[in-house]
Chain A
Amino acid sequence: MDLFQSGLHNAAHTDVNGHIKIGPFEVFLPRESFTPAAKPAGHHGYPGRLFIVEGIDGSGKSTQLSLLHKWLEAKGYGVVFSEWNSSPLVKDTTKLGKKKKMLTPATFSLIHATDFADRTEKSILPLLKAGAVVLCDRYVYTAFARDVARGMDRQWLRSLYEFAVKPTVAFYFRVPLETAIGRIAAARDCLKFYEAGMDLGLCDDPVESFRIFQGRILEEYERMIPEFNLTVVDATLPVEAQQAQVRQIAQRHLEDAKELRVKP
């Protein structure tokens, strides 16, 4: 028997509400067996809004998210920020695995999924239900890009992250590889082992390994733009121009929200 196929079959077609599915994320949480209480409607089905940023290291996505955060707060929205790889329950394990170089592509993938699951269950999902604006620096697309670059199966990964909530907007900061490498080189003394993809044995030189690895990641991002309808921002533009674009798009999705919380 093929466990994966049996899993995928259901994942691809089941929607308790009979809605046509856009990405794999809309189906998982609303499934009856998973969250019986959830009543999905609209995009991810919750009153809150979920904005996420994606891009390779050095694309400037964190800068953009932090500017968006300040703007939203100034406008009085209740905003919560969640960073990749930050679950208090899981991060010690990830740190141990990285420090001792114990992680294989599969366990690297699973421990990050565990971290993401904890943040989804404890913060992202309940906050969206409560009507908060949730901001995530990196989301499932980071896992898809990195883990595929490490040789994991694309479909298996998409199935693994089915529990994730589909973002209101997923901003992808697109930047040429050389620009990103230039920014990273200016900002950092040295590259970390996994960050540079040194676990793959691509090349003994960390900078060269980083280049190859990030190149693969970039390819995966390109592939995901149509697949997940990512909102592309040209990350070679001035910071201000990018931010104006981001705010304009975010604004549109805030206007149609009925039950957003404001900061007390």
Chain B
Amino acid sequence: MRETYGKKLPGMKLSDLAGKLIVIEGTDGAGRTTQINLLKPWLEEMGHAVLDTGMTRSPLAGDGIRRAKEGNNLGRVTQSLFYATDFVDRLENEIAPALRAGFVVLTDRYIYSLMARAIVRGVDASWIRGIYSVALKPDAVFYLRVGIDELIPRVIFSRGFDYWESGMDLYPAHDMYEGFCNYQKALLGEFDRLSAEFGFERVDASRDAKTVFGILKARIRSVLESAPEEITLPEYIAERINRLAYSNERKPAASAASAMAGAQAAAKGFEIVPQPFGGPSPRVNGNGRTA
């Protein structure tokens, strides 16, 4: 049975939310959107029905938030609650129904980003946590982490600095660059704290998009195949993964059972690309258990 973070919304049945709720978190410019655009067709190709959702996409509050952000008069408590409204509208009308229908829900940010942004703006941390206690606990949270130094070139050579992403409502910065550094550093600090608290799976997102995609695929695959005994890899693949996974320790698996355990562990760090029937032996990509 699915759980919430402490409080249940009226009418929210938790017993039949059978789908998988997968969260992609990270600061601005970490590549979340890119990854979701890659993951969605990949999941669909595997036969999963996918709902992708993200902040300010609710029919109720999305436009209102965008309008409110055009001016310079959106206070931090108001902003936090406007986002909470948007979140709960999507939670009740999109995320929960999709989970009930067995979908894989891919969400671009979740309550963690919303909490981090509010806390960085000086909103009381326990207050904002209390509000989001109605959120459903996800099956996995992948935290795409990019340090500030890698983040800056990504932003300046793509869309440029944005007022809100530079925390201009927050810091008395001289310019957007300073504002961006201050704000994003504060956010990263808060994300790192939340990461420890909520057990995010960290992914080093400073690497190229394809590598990150590979890591995410492997990890999501293991989320979708929840029980270990359900993994039925062909023996030659299992053997090969096992060999790679244990190559550091130079300790070959002694039994079929431990080979499966090895395959399990390896699946978290490696991308397995099956070749077309009759082709050469399978390739195993990746360079170890990252992040």
> Pick the contact of B82 from A114, A152, A160 — CB < 8 Å?
A114
Contact between B84 and A110, CB atoms less than 8 A apart: yes
| Contacts known (A2-B6, A97-B60, A102-B89); A117 close to B133, Cβ less than 8 A | no
Contact between A104 and B85, CB atoms less than 8 A apart: no
B255 interfacial contact with A, CB 8 Å: no
Interface residues on B, range: 35 or more
Q: Mark A97-137, 1 if CB is under 8 A from B, else 0.
A: 10000111111001101100110111000000000000000
A184 interfacial contact with B, CB 8 Å: no
B231 interfacial contact with A, CB 8 Å: no
C-alpha gap A89/B135 in the complex (Å)? 25
C-alpha gap A3/B75 in the complex (Å)? 24
B291 interfacial contact with A, CB 8 Å: no
Contact between B129 and A6, CB atoms less than 8 A apart: yes
Q: Which residues, 64 to 98 on B, are CB-close (under 8 Å) to A? A: 64, 67-68, 71, 73-78, 80-82, 84-85, 88-89, 92-93
State the Cβ distance, A144 to closest chain B Cβ, in Å: 15
Contact between A156 and B81, CB atoms less than 8 A apart: no
| Contacts known (A89-B74, A106-B92, A122-B73); A159 close to B130, Cβ less than 8 A | yes
Interface residues on A, range: 35 or more
Query: Which residues of chain B have C-beta atoms less than 8 A from A151's C-beta?
Result: 10-11
C-alpha gap A134/B88 in the complex (Å)? 32
State the Cβ distance, B244 to closest chain A Cβ, in Å: 36
Contact between A114 and B5, CB atoms less than 8 A apart: no
Query: Which residues of chain A have C-beta atoms less than 8 A from B122's C-beta?
Result: 33-34, 36
Query: Which residues of chain A have C-beta atoms less than 8 A from B84's C-beta?
Result: 110, 114
| Contacts known (A96-B60, A153-B7); A4 close to B133, Cβ less than 8 A | yes
State the Cβ distance, A86 to closest chain B Cβ, in Å: 13
B228 interfacial contact with A, CB 8 Å: no
C-alpha gap A153/B131 in the complex (Å)? 11
Q: Which residues, 71 to 107 on A, are CB-close (under 8 Å) to B? A: 87, 89-90, 92-93, 96-97, 102-107
State the Cβ distance, A28 to closest chain B Cβ, in Å: 7
B123 interfacial contact with A, CB 8 Å: yes
A166 interfacial contact with B, CB 8 Å: no
B61 interfacial contact with A, CB 8 Å: yes
State the Cβ distance, A110 to closest chain B Cβ, in Å: 4
Chain B facing A: main interface SS: helix
C-alpha gap A106/B133 in the complex (Å)? 13
> Pick the contact of B77 from A8, A159, A163 — CB < 8 Å?
A163
Query: Which residues of chain B have C-beta atoms less than 8 A from A248's C-beta?
Result: none
C-alpha gap A155/B77 in the complex (Å)? 19
C-alpha gap A89/B92 in the complex (Å)? 24
Contact between A113 and B81, CB atoms less than 8 A apart: yes
State the Cβ distance, A232 to closest chain B Cβ, in Å: 29
> Pick the contact of B131 from A28, A33, A160 — CB < 8 Å?
A160
The chain A residue with its CB closest to the CB of B89 is A107
The chain A residue with its CB closest to the CB of B92 is A104
Contact surface of B with A, Cβ cutoff 8 Å: 5-11, 59-61, 63-64, 67-68, 71, 73-78, 80-82, 84-85, 88-89, 92-93, 122-135, 197-198
> What are 19 A-B interface contacts by the 8 Å CB criterion?
A3-B132, A7-B128, A10-B126, A34-B123, A89-B71, A93-B60, A93-B85, A96-B60, A96-B64, A103-B60, A104-B9, A104-B11, A104-B92, A106-B9, A106-B92, A111-B60, A150-B10, A159-B130, A163-B77
Contact surface of A with B, Cβ cutoff 8 Å: 1-11, 28, 31, 33-34, 36, 87, 89-90, 92-93, 96-97, 102-107, 110-111, 113-114, 117-118, 120-122, 150-153, 156, 159-160, 162-163
